[in-house]
Amino acid sequence: MNKKILVINGPNLNIINRKGYGKLDLARIESTLQGEALKHGFEITSFQSNSEGKLIDFIQQSIEMEAAGIIINSGALTHYSYAIRDAIDSAGVPTVEVHITNIYNRDEFRHKSVIAPVCVGQVCGFEENSYLLGLLGLIKYLSTLEK
Amino acid sequence: MNKKILVINGPNLNIINRKGYGKLDLARIESTLQGEALKHGFEITSFQSNSEGKLIDFIQQSIEMEAAGIIINSGALTHYSYAIRDAIDSAGVPTVEVHITNIYNRDEFRHKSVIAPVCVGQVCGFEENSYLLGLLGLIKYLSTLEK
Amino acid sequence: MNKKILVINGPNLNIINRKGYGKLDLARIESTLQGEALKHGFEITSFQSNSEGKLIDFIQQSIEMEAAGIIINSGALTHYSYAIRDAIDSAGVPTVEVHITNIYNRDEFRHKSVIAPVCVGQVCGFEENSYLLGLLGLIKYLSTLEK
Amino acid sequence: MNKKILVINGPNLNIINRKGYGKLDLARIESTLQGEALKHGFEITSFQSNSEGKLIDFIQQSIEMEAAGIIINSGALTHYSYAIRDAIDSAGVPTVEVHITNIYNRDEFRHKSVIAPVCVGQVCGFEENSYLLGLLGLIKYLSTLEK
Amino acid sequence: MNKKILVINGPNLNIINRKGYGKLDLARIESTLQGEALKHGFEITSFQSNSEGKLIDFIQQSIEMEAAGIIINSGALTHYSYAIRDAIDSAGVPTVEVHITNIYNRDEFRHKSVIAPVCVGQVCGFEENSYLLGLLGLIKYLSTLEK
Amino acid sequence: MNKKILVINGPNLNIINRKGYGKLDLARIESTLQGEALKHGFEITSFQSNSEGKLIDFIQQSIEMEAAGIIINSGALTHYSYAIRDAIDSAGVPTVEVHITNIYNRDEFRHKSVIAPVCVGQVCGFEENSYLLGLLGLIKYLSTLEK
Amino acid sequence: MNKKILVINGPNLNIINRKGYGKLDLARIESTLQGEALKHGFEITSFQSNSEGKLIDFIQQSIEMEAAGIIINSGALTHYSYAIRDAIDSAGVPTVEVHITNIYNRDEFRHKSVIAPVCVGQVCGFEENSYLLGLLGLIKYLSTLEK
Amino acid sequence: MNKKILVINGPNLNIINRKGYGKLDLARIESTLQGEALKHGFEITSFQSNSEGKLIDFIQQSIEMEAAGIIINSGALTHYSYAIRDAIDSAGVPTVEVHITNIYNRDEFRHKSVIAPVCVGQVCGFEENSYLLGLLGLIKYLSTLEK
Amino acid sequence: MNKKILVINGPNLNIINRKGYGKLDLARIESTLQGEALKHGFEITSFQSNSEGKLIDFIQQSIEMEAAGIIINSGALTHYSYAIRDAIDSAGVPTVEVHITNIYNRDEFRHKSVIAPVCVGQVCGFEENSYLLGLLGLIKYLSTLEK
Amino acid sequence: MNKKILVINGPNLNIINRKGYGKLDLARIESTLQGEALKHGFEITSFQSNSEGKLIDFIQQSIEMEAAGIIINSGALTHYSYAIRDAIDSAGVPTVEVHITNIYNRDEFRHKSVIAPVCVGQVCGFEENSYLLGLLGLIKYLSTLEK
Amino acid sequence: MNKKILVINGPNLNIINRKGYGKLDLARIESTLQGEALKHGFEITSFQSNSEGKLIDFIQQSIEMEAAGIIINSGALTHYSYAIRDAIDSAGVPTVEVHITNIYNRDEFRHKSVIAPVCVGQVCGFEENSYLLGLLGLIKYLSTLEK
Amino acid sequence: MNKKILVINGPNLNIINRKGYGKLDLARIESTLQGEALKHGFEITSFQSNSEGKLIDFIQQSIEMEAAGIIINSGALTHYSYAIRDAIDSAGVPTVEVHITNIYNRDEFRHKSVIAPVCVGQVCGFEENSYLLGLLGLIKYLSTLEK
């Protein structure tokens, strides 16, 4: 049976096609990730919400789901949600932070991620490929844990 | 058919009669706005929530509702919800920020609005009339767009 | 006899047609305000100066003129003239702060108004309509005082 | 009839047994508090949510419930939720802030509580006993109000 | 034989009846604490001084006195006496910090305690009951150490 | 022939009777100072302006007037007018800074005087007597220069 | 019987003749103040200590001594001793802060006085005359209280 | 006919011979600039004022005078006059900022020029030659525009 | 012919096997990257230096080498070398920033990358795989450019 | 024999034709400067390096070369190389700082020059003419030294 | 007769054997220093106090004792006691600051010494040998003064 | 065979005789250190460079040279070279930081050493003797390691 990887998207990532990110589409991204995950013996469970509380609920479910890892793009919550940070930290599931854009050449407030310190690593700036690279990085990280 | 303007109120504005703002009443404010809007060929759809996530959900619905504009009083979320800011920015619907009180002579943390940079303008300090002035300002803004 | 409302404009607002604000014209704005004021039983006395000292002189004259209220756009002085702030505070005449542009999406130094804490409220971002909305807000504020 | 005291827990306190806090258990804490409250003629109504909005909804319900007081551990929201602060302030019900850990010897961001200024007092660092001490403090505070 | 708990008060707490704290009286507080302590098999040794040096001398004596714990209200020294912090840290006796008022809704400089990071926990805002709650918290903390 | 001392008042000190400073009156203050000065062989030349530029013009005139010293209350300009500071510094006439109120227990922005570093000394908080004390201090300072 | 005024000097003012302040002498200053005070129906009680604790002890004694006022030069403690600030505030005796030098043109750390906000006023920069001016200011302040 | 270049000097530059700048003389500087300008087909119109307002008035006149460029030394106003900045920006006439001294090795507050961002360039530290170099730079800048 | 990708390592990455990074080896990393690059029609040219100047020299050579892209781990220079930033920006070759560790959970000074704003994206925290992910991200980025 | 003036260029100025500075060319600039220098009895020795160390080596050589002065554009090193600052300061050769662009209307980090305080003066914003103006300023400065 | 060197230790250094510093012992350190001093014709007078005031008293006594120099470890007072700084500065006796630990890799607040600017030099991080090195440095410094 | 100690000097220390440090001479310092080292069974290998990169290269060579320790004066690089810090940290050779001057009473930027946290200790202010004291401190440190 395949191991689960959760792909979690925060506020406004359900409408990324609206502004700024060209022809991105969240459904297509999730589909691409599923395909890549299956090649490595993992399967993706996707979740998107505009609500910090529901995102935390889902991160906590990773415990019962015995998820192997998490890919998270917490949107603008990245910059102030210490509650999501604590959820990731408490759940104890290896988590990779991804961003579609290079958050370091946008508004000043986007330069700081409050969740980064409790994540394995961060990938940003590669548009939809940030997710794919994050997935590959997570899978490689998990394989070193097994050794 | 009248064009829609969304009037969105954030946390604790449902209990403004409890503290600090005299005999204000959200229902009466919404009713007054509806009356004024109809005079100019608009109609108001009101929404209040204490939840950042639901506020974002509703802002996103402005896209499908083809709303002409938004009047928003995001309450204390005004000062840290970069997620609401992104919602307004992504939806792309002209938005006016209003506040019942003069936020610049209250606590230090209320002096900064993180949503202001993505709004058309801001009106504060006129108690319930802040909403009315915001509505008139929005309608005038929309009329210049049409030209 | 109509009650007086002073409309005070600070530095560089006499040349707003030069840069950044499209086809704005201070004389036309003042004329529009006069028209609106008369409808409500007020009359406008306008004043513009590039000099902080003369602006303070005029604000102080509101005492002798027994002005009912002040609409002020103090231009760039908004951001550092504590002397204008003290003038407004000492005169004790209800004052509304207005700005043509949304000062919160321009240069960092424009984000702070040192006069805001002593004003009734603030209106910004609606171009020449900021003045009109400010006038309506002031008139409504004065009417509540009378009750 | 016993008077009501609300015990409110914020994000991630439902999984405190997962990380960092040893063998803590929220259900047991609530049960201990209920026992102690009954001795003093109060009864506990408990609530936990990972959602800021639902926490505010519940705090607002304290008005209708005619609650005598609130014990709150708002988790990581403590450090940025000005909306919860406003809810406590608007509801006007005496509130005591508690924390399981000593928030002053952990991460820098945990050193500041944005809700503390609107609370009666704060208790932190005594693990599950922080709640018990907070309850006793609240009851003593309420008894002085009655005099 | 009862175990010793030191109750240490810093500058100006000998004249708390003078200003701001109603009818508080340090002697009565110490007497109440003594009564409560005896119930749990502890006895209180009280000390007050306006001198940082004498407070440090007394904290150091806790070593020879084999004190079980310390309750300290270091008054305004709380906010800058790194020397008292080092004394608590070097003595190695479990210490609870208490404050009569809620230090988080007073002057900005009172919001930071430099001794908090080396204490077990903090209790503030419950007037004279802060001491009582602190004592109970300390006793409970000591009982968990014994297990 | 008596030596000249200039008494210079900045913005809004001409209307100190309007707000906050009880029954103060600038004319009476100047008259009191004149009387005191004559006793010591000095005479007062008074000047008040709301204009930074005119204040500088007058400070510069101290050179031609061969003034022995200056008493200045630069009002709110105290906190940002580096130009007045340079005028005092360039004129090279011994200057004493006075303030009617204790500027250190008012708004944060009033805590810093940019002219203080180029003055002989500062007197604040004694209402109209601040001027008198400043004058006596200046006269004593000038007498030590003569020795 | 004459009313008492306390003259309190903090650390290192006993050796002002050593460095930086020319031929100043604390004894002579105290003697001059005594002479001036007697003229106005007051008598001086002087105190100097290098110890913050002893300074606070003495300030507290002003209560029992029924002192009319305090002149204080708290030396370098001026810049960090919140405990002395609280002592002045709790004692409730009108206090004037004086400094020999102009603290605003020396080291950055000397620009802020933490006791200033609880004093009547401040005099600095007039060398030994700062004390004399402070005394005169205090006496004038006391005389207005009597009215 | 020669094209006009305005040479504008702010507060205290009319008395530069008083302090700090050796034997400088504003009239001689202006005369030297006139001579140099004529060689290149320009003529100088000089203006000095201690008043921010009059400086702004004069900068605005550059529009009607159809001035080719401006050389400005705004003295201490350089560091806080956002109103002069806006005047330069609104007038739209190429402006070069000059300073007699090296403002970067003097007081901290002189290190920041608020007008620099709207100028073509800056020259400082060359005493009276700063003006000459600024003029040459301006003329060279204007010649590239013509190409 | 394969297109060139430069892999540039800054100070101390030649001795990563010494401390903190387990059994990492720069040569092996470069070899792995070469293998991966060849699969996609690219070839790697590697360079390591402890000298900021030589790193800039090499980045500039990317122009003549007509490199398709750059993978850079600039080590501690990441946090202050604005000169490397300018080199990347001037060369105009698409650059991806990588870090072996998660720089956001280490020392405070490592949280800011001064080169990030001029890079395509950033990958950190995946040990040697950060390079591999960075390479894949760069190749995908280059492929979208071609479209 | 002509006296030597060193013209020193820092990192990335060898490729200024690549980005942002139009058709600038370092060789042409140096050639123009040589021509101008010869007219005044000086000759130019030019040096460019991307290495901070080599730039310092060359600045130090100014001692043995008995250079009359230095023109330096230290590129991005301007903003952090305290080592270059010390080299200029230790060499003791009069140095003029130049920049092609107006560094005050670019990135925030470019607003501070750490070498400015040890230079004679600064010229920026005149593109290649900044060098020429700097040279003229230096020559004029040297001529006043001779007097 | 030997010349005197004072060795002064501040708060908590009398209990250094309690925590953090292994088997250090203040008496042994003083004894070692005495032995070393005698070799060079000096003798040590030691003093330790937990009281800032007594430390200042002792530093002042160096004047009457005609001490040649001072070795001081002012413990945590190092970081805020501007009064000790002034004592050292006023006494005018060459003083060397020492610390047992490397204060630069401990808590942030320990990174700044407020007494360092008035000392000859600083030695830290060599445990008990910091005192010995400080003594040798002081003796060498004194010998250069004699030349 | 003697054990090696590296003495490393950074930028501008090769010309210390030029400015500010009297008659210091690096060669003589190195010679004195060699003499002292030999007495204790060590030998000195000296290195000076103005280049950060070469300094790092040399620090790395300490690994192959099996150096027992390092004495480093990294000059102005002390204040920003995180790359040198990492080199010291990675090499893992005990390192002592020395400075000729008391860096804490010079420019603000010299008050922070970025290498201090990874060094054994720091000695500053004793001119050339800082090196000698640093050497003795290092040797004593190494001898405790051997125990």
Task: Give the pLDDT mean for C124-134.
Answer: 97
pLDDT at E50: 98
Instruction: Per residue of chain B (147 residues), give pLDDT as tens.
Output: 679 999 999 999 999 887 555 567 899 999 999 999 999 999 999 999 999 999 999 999 999 999 999 999 999 999 999 999 999 999 999 999 999 999 999 999 999 999 999 999 999 999 999 999 999 999 999 998 876
Give the start-end residues of each E strand in C10-86.
42-48, 69-73
pLDDT at D79: 98
Task: Give the pLDDT mean for E103-123.
Answer: 98
Percent of chain I with pLDDT strictly greater than 70: 95
Task: Give the pLDDT mean for F37-64.
Answer: 97
Question: In the structure, what pLDDT confidence band is assigned to residue K111 with cuts at 50, 70 and 90?
Answer: very high
pLDDT at I18: 77
Question: In the structure, what pLDDT confidence band is assigned to residue H24 with cuts at 50, 70 and 90?
Answer: confident
Residue contact K12–E63, C-beta within 8 A: no
Query: Quick check: H119 pLDDT over 70?
Result: yes
A104 carries an active-site annotation: no
pLDDT at L82: 98
Query: Quick check: K22 pLDDT over 60?
Result: no
The CB density around residue D50, as the number of other CB atoms within 10 Å, is 29
Percent of chain K with pLDDT strictly greater than 90: 89
C21: tokens are: 């604000």
Dihedral sign from CA coordinates of G65, G70, G71, G73: positive
Q: Which of A8, A56, A63 to substitute to test the interface with D, most D CBs within 10 Å? A: A56
3-class DSSP state for residue H131?
helix
E10: tokens are: 């810093």
* CA angle, residues B105, C48, C82, in degrees to nearest 5: 35
DSSP string, chain F: -PEEEEEEE-TTGGGTTTTTSTT--HHHHHHHHHHHHHHTTEEEEEEE-S-HHHHHHHHHHHHHTT-SEEEEE-GGGGGT-HHHHHHHHHH---EEEEESS-GGGS-GGGG--SSGGGSSEEEESSTTHHHHHHHHHHHHHHHHHH-
- Please give the DSSP secondary-structure letter assigned to residue H49: -
Is the domain defined by J4-146 classed in CATH 3.40.50.9100?
A: yes
Q: Which residue of I has its CA nearest to A115?
A: I104
Q: Considering L40, L82, L99, L104, which one is annotated as catalytic?
A: L99
pLDDT at C24: 74
Query: Quick check: H70 pLDDT over 80?
Result: yes
Distance from CA of C122 to the nearest CA of B (A): 5
Is the pair B, I in contact (3+ CB pairs within 8 Å)?
no
Query: Quick check: C40 pLDDT over 90?
Result: yes
Chain B residues with CB under 8 Å of C132 CB are 140
F99 carries an active-site annotation: yes
Alpha-helical runs (H) found in chain J:
26-39, 52-64, 82-91, 129-146
B103: tokens are: 């936020």
Give the start-end residues of each E strand in K1-147.
3-9, 42-48, 69-73, 95-99, 121-124
Chain I residues with CB under 8 Å of A133 CB are 123, 133, 136-137
Q: Which of F85-99, J37-51, L17-31 has the lowest mean pLDDT?
A: L17-31
Q: Which of C18, C75, C109 sits opposite H63 (nearest CB)?
A: C18
Percent of chain H with pLDDT strictly greater than 70: 95
Question: In the structure, what pLDDT confidence band is assigned to residue D17 with cuts at 50, 70 and 90?
Answer: confident
pLDDT at C118: 98
pLDDT at E2: 76
Task: Give the pLDDT mean for D74-103.
Answer: 98
Query: Quick check: C130 pLDDT over 90?
Result: yes
Q: Which residue of K has its CA nearest to G79?
A: K82
Question: How buried is G32 (Cβ within 10 angstroms: 0-12 exposed, 13-18 middle, 19+ buried)?
Answer: middle
Question: Which residues of chain G fall below pLDDT 70?
Answer: 1, 19-23, 147
Percent of chain I with pLDDT strictly greater than 90: 89
pLDDT at K145: 83
- Comparing K146 with G72, which gets the higher pLDDT? G72
Q: Considering H21, H40, H79, H141, which one is annotated as catalytic?
A: H21
pLDDT at A18: 77
pLDDT at H21: 52
pLDDT at K19: 59
Residue contact E130–D121, C-beta within 8 A: yes
pLDDT at H88: 98
Q: Which of I49, I54, I56 to substitute to test the interface with J, most J CBs within 10 Å? A: I56
Q: Which of F120, F136, F140 sits opposite G102 (nearest CB)?
A: F120
Query: Quick check: J19 pLDDT over 70?
Result: no
Residue contact F87–H14, C-beta within 8 A: no
Question: In the structure, what pLDDT confidence band is assigned to residue I1 with cuts at 50, 70 and 90?
Answer: low
Query: Quick check: K80 pLDDT over 90?
Result: yes
The CB density around residue E2, as the number of other CB atoms within 10 Å, is 12
Query: Quick check: C59 pLDDT over 60?
Result: yes
Task: Give the pLDDT mean for D73-88.
Answer: 98
Distance from CA of B130 to the nearest CA of A (A): 28
pLDDT at E145: 83
The length of chain H in residues reads: 147
Query: Quick check: H91 pLDDT over 80?
Result: yes
Question: In the structure, what pLDDT confidence band is assigned to residue A145 with cuts at 50, 70 and 90?
Answer: confident
Q: Which of D86, D88, D115 to substitute to test the interface with B, most B CBs within 10 Å? A: D86
Average pLDDT, chain H: 94
Query: Quick check: C10 pLDDT over 90?
Result: yes
pLDDT at F56: 98
- Identify the CA nearest to K49 among candidates K73, K18, K33: K73
Element (H, E) at D64: helix D52-64
Name all chains with 3 or more CB-CB pairs below 8 Å to chain E. Answer: D, G, K
pLDDT at I77: 98
- Identify the CA nearest to E43 among candidates E32, E53, E34: E34
Q: State how far the Cα of B143 lies from the Cα of B137, in Å rounded to an integer.
A: 10
pLDDT at G19: 59
Q: Who's near E80: CB < 8 A, 6+ residues apart?
A: E114, G80, G82, K80
Average pLDDT, chain J: 94
Element (H, E) at B5: strand B3-9
Query: Quick check: J79 pLDDT over 70?
Result: yes
Q: Which of B121, B129, B132 sits opposite C126 (nearest CB)?
A: B121
